[in-house]
Amino acid sequence: GAVVSQHPSRVICKSGTSVKIECRSLDFQATTMFWYRQFPKQSLMLMATSNEGSKATYEQGVEKDKFLINHASLTLSTLTVTSAHPEDSSFYICSAREATGTKGTDTQYFGPGTRLTVL
Amino acid sequence: AQSVTQLGSHVSVSEGALVLLRCNYSSSVPPYLFWYVQYPNQGLQLLLKYTTGATLVKGINGFEAEFKKSETSFHLTKPSAHMSDAAEYFCAVKTGGFKTIFGAGTRLFVKA
């Protein structure tokens, strides 16, 4: 089946630095990728929807200048957490949509997640 | 707007017992419904999905779910729990667009 990878799996950084997380679809082309954030023992919160070659669409309350998303190719999307602070510590999960023609029935494949810890 | 409610943040069953995880949804249009499983520090894995057609959907690892429009439910079941089923389970809904809305999750504990 389709595989989505994320890199790195874990990252620890100092407050004020920026961190980039990569999301790749390994054996399919993903015109749309999604970035989620998950706090401990909570559900996934959609942060933004990223379409290849265009600007990402951010959910209400998500700071686009803090969470920079780039979807430069059909297999790669990146999330950069700029000037990270301890409250940004979380589990970030990306998802890629494998287009099958009908939006509603398309399957989303999820990456393994990236654990970000900001000291 | 669509929403998902998972009844019970924790469910505990004995090994070999029936697993029942409840999910109710709210949607103004016919929904597409999903169940995902998440193991610790991992991403989500699709268990099964309902789009159209047969309302009883079979998924991986022996799980199945039934779409009941009259009850706006999509409960997940497995006849016999295995220790390896212990994980977090998320019900999700999508209504034709790209966005998937997740429930709060139910953690399944399996006792030996």
Q: If DSSP states are collapsed to H, E and C, what string results for chain A?
A: CCCEEEECCEEEECCCCCEEEEEEECCCCEEEEEEEEECCCCCEEEEEEEECCCCCEECCCCCCCCEEEEEEECCEEEEEECCCCHHHCEEEEEEEEECCCCHHHCEEEECCCEEEEEC
Q: Which two tokens stand for residue A77?
A: 């999307």
Question: In degrees to the nearest 10, what's the CA dihedral of B31, A28, B87, A34?
Answer: -60
Q: Tokens 């669409």, residue?
A: A57
Q: Which residue has the higher pLDDT, A27 or A83?
A: A83
Residue A8 touches chain B, beta carbons under 8 Å: no
Predicted pLDDT at B28: 77
Of B99, B76, B74, give the one whose Cα is nearest residue B18.
B76
Q: Mutation test of the interface with chain B: which of A3, A43, A60, choosing the one with the most B Cβ atoms within 10 A?
A: A43
Average pLDDT for residues B50-54, to the nearest whole number?
87
Predicted pLDDT at A101: 55
Q: Mutation test of the interface with chain A: which of B38, B98, B100, choosing the one with the most A Cβ atoms within 10 A?
A: B98
Chain-centroid distance of CA B111 in Å reads 20
Average pLDDT for residues B82-89, to the nearest whole number?
96
Burial code (b: 16+ CB inside 10 Å, e: under 16) for B46-70 equals bbbbbbeeeeebebeeebbbebeee
| pLDDT single digits (tens) A18-60 | 999 999 999 888 888 999 999 887 888 999 999 888 889 999 9
Predicted pLDDT at B99: 78
Residue A109 touches chain B, beta carbons under 8 Å: yes
To the nearest whole percent, how much of chain B has pLDDT over 70?
96
Contact A43 B105 (CB under 8 A): yes
Average pLDDT for residues B46-67, to the nearest whole number?
93
Predicted pLDDT at B101: 87
Checking if the pLDDT of B96 tops 80, the result is: no
Classified as helix, coil or strand, B2 is: coil
Distance CA A79, CA A104 (A): 25
Predicted pLDDT at B73: 95
Predicted pLDDT at A6: 95
Residue A29 vs residues A13, A98, B93: alpha-carbon distances, Å: 31, 7, 23
Q: Mutation test of the interface with chain B: which of A23, A108, A109, A117, choosing the one with the most B Cβ atoms within 10 A?
A: A108
Q: How many CB atoms lie within 10 A of CB A40?
A: 7
Q: Which two tokens stand for residue A54?
A: 């265009």
Instruction: Specify the amino acid at residue B82.
Output: H
**Which one-letter DSSP state was computed for residue B16?**
T
A115: nearest CA partner in chain B: B41
Q: Tokens 């059909």, residue?
A: A74
To the nearest whole percent, how much of chain A has pLDDT over 70?
92
B34: nearest CA partner in chain A: A107
From chain A, pick out residues whose CB is under 8 angstroms from the CB of B42.
Answer: 112-113
Contact A110 B94 (CB under 8 A): no
Average pLDDT for residues A56-84, to the nearest whole number?
93
Contact A103 B36 (CB under 8 A): no
A48: nearest CA partner in chain B: B99
Average pLDDT for residues B35-39, to the nearest whole number?
93
Predicted pLDDT at A12: 97
| C-beta of residue A113 within 8 angstroms of C-beta of residue A8 | no
Average model confidence (pLDDT) for chain A? 89
Confidence label for B98 from pLDDT (cuts 50, 70 and 90): low
Residue A93 touches chain B, beta carbons under 8 Å: yes
Predicted pLDDT at A72: 83
Checking if the pLDDT of B71 tops 60, the result is: yes
Instruction: Specify the amino acid at residue A102.
Output: T
